[in-house]
A and B are shown apart, each in its own frame.
Chain A
């Protein structure tokens, strides 16, 4: 098997960068561990779940998708192509990789998004098996696992008590990556460490079932009391994929932008006439939960949540998707108890 010493991940990053990959990895940056482009000398932190998800490199926060030069009354379109360098998403999490099934689907469902697809095709996905989980992790409640290999091109498995990683290629892209790794990877034997134990926190079918009957429920106000209406959860979420189109122009040129957007914002649904069909955070949180646990399952037979827990970890207002789902699952259980 192919091995890397745990403290030599930077050598692997260096070899891959040398072979022409843009290496994206968890790196500490002024006190925050985030997935970002690796540069020589940056230490890779595998012990902390990064604040952002891998989606940032497939569907960036802001992207130019059109550009026109304006000349008097006329204009000339420029050829705008996706900025899609060959990229490895190194030591991301299985919950990052799990989101790709949904992103691949939603960006190719009714319209094929060339920008997403170009980046996706240029990406080699190398998740790392989680050997530790925190109180916000709930992948096992939404069909995932700390060692799930879904959408992975290769897996990094912690081995020999965290001293080494086993690099196991799973696809052609993964084999190509292994080929590019050169001397950073050596042949040897090691024993894989056990994956983290992530308790199952709720029954997701009970959640989806309750949602199908409770669009109108007083519980939405209670469940969303903490939410103050920012977009932090959506922007950290590996599956949230809503965007806004904006045109920005000067007298000489105009660019069309695809910017992240969030259903947590009031402006998201504000109509031109002034009416807002989602007037408060209760309605907006209902949308957030419904989209992930009712509409996406109904339309694509997938879940819109991979249980990464990023939203709860960073929410200053204490909102937590797993806590909300637990409360909803409890409602179903209560209803069943009353019926029997």
Chain B
């Protein structure tokens, strides 16, 4: 990773006004935490490595940050996909963001959304699902329904309903989430079995066909709930059933939100 070039580019986009803010990562006593840089001289504190799991595209929904647009975001391929998907879902405009694109090994430079799409399709068209997660999914799929229910009951029992998973996800941008629908209350907000099941399953399926498998939700969960088992399982299902991988085309109609007259199901016609 050419960190010097990343820092130079970050300083350059701030200096020449292409971005009012760079959002990247800095070091805090060994932790990698988000950095918000408006002064070109501050770009030297940027770092990037494989522990930078937060998906910085989530900051695009933050009201206080709108006045800093256009904003340049340090983005690995999964995060680039989130940005394209946000554009496809009409949440951001191409002019709102620049991408400081980081890959597995290399730094790819400053890109606009079209450039990020080109990079993704050229170099990262086949991002494999996390093999460890796939293995766990196979193991859990092989269990009996009762054993599977017991596994998830144990996982969801840990949930305190802090919604760190939701906050970490760029695609969770609803101004009023289903758990905040309280006139009347749509689903139980108690950190107890019934509501925890409802919350975790609804969160996962609202991301079907929208999750780019960045892993930020699972990394953010203080309780260590294996959310990626649900996310990858659904993403794989969407891929198999609909041939769709989210976040490769900012012009594409989102899977949920589009329909086809040629659909094989009768009910939709």
Q: Which residues of A contact B (CB under 8 A)?
A: 29-32, 34, 51-52, 61-62, 135-136, 221, 224-226, 228-232, 234-236, 244, 246, 248, 257, 259-260, 262, 265-267, 279-282, 314, 316-318, 320, 323
Contact = CB atoms under 8 A, between A and B. Distances in A.
A259 B191 contact: yes
Given A32-B222, A246-B185, 13 more contacts: A62-B190, A62-B191, A135-B28, A228-B59, A230-B163, A231-B160, A246-B188, A259-B191, A262-B162, A316-B219, A317-B34, A317-B54, A318-B33
A200 to B, nearest CB: 16
Contact of A226 (B34, B160, B192): B34
Nearest to A51: B222
A31 B191 CA distance: 21
Contacts of A317: 33-34, 54, 167-168, 220
B190 A259 contact: yes
Interface of B: 28-31, 33-34, 36, 53-54, 58-59, 62-65, 158, 160-164, 166-168, 180, 182, 185, 188-192, 216, 219-220, 222-224
A257 B189 CA distance: 10
Given A280-B63, A316-B54, A235 B160 contact: yes
Nearest to A60: B191
B191 A260 contact: yes
A335 B41 CA distance: 24
10 contacts: A30-B224, A135-B28, A234-B162, A244-B189, A246-B189, A248-B190, A265-B180, A279-B63, A316-B216, A317-B168
B162 A228 contact: no
B30 A135 contact: yes
Given A259-B190, A317-B34, A318-B31, A280 B64 contact: yes
A316 B220 contact: yes
B164 A318 contact: no
Given A62-B192, A248-B188, A279-B63, A323 B223 contact: no
Most chain-A Cβ atoms within 10 A of its Cβ — which of B62, B164, B168, B182?
A: B164
A316 B163 contact: no
B64 A281 contact: yes
A225 B65 contact: yes
Contacts of A234: 162
A232 B220 contact: yes
B36 A221 contact: no
Contacts of A318: 28, 31, 33-34, 54
A267 B34 contact: no
A52 B158 CA distance: 11
Contact of B62 (A34, A135, A228, A235): A228
B118 to A, nearest CB: 29
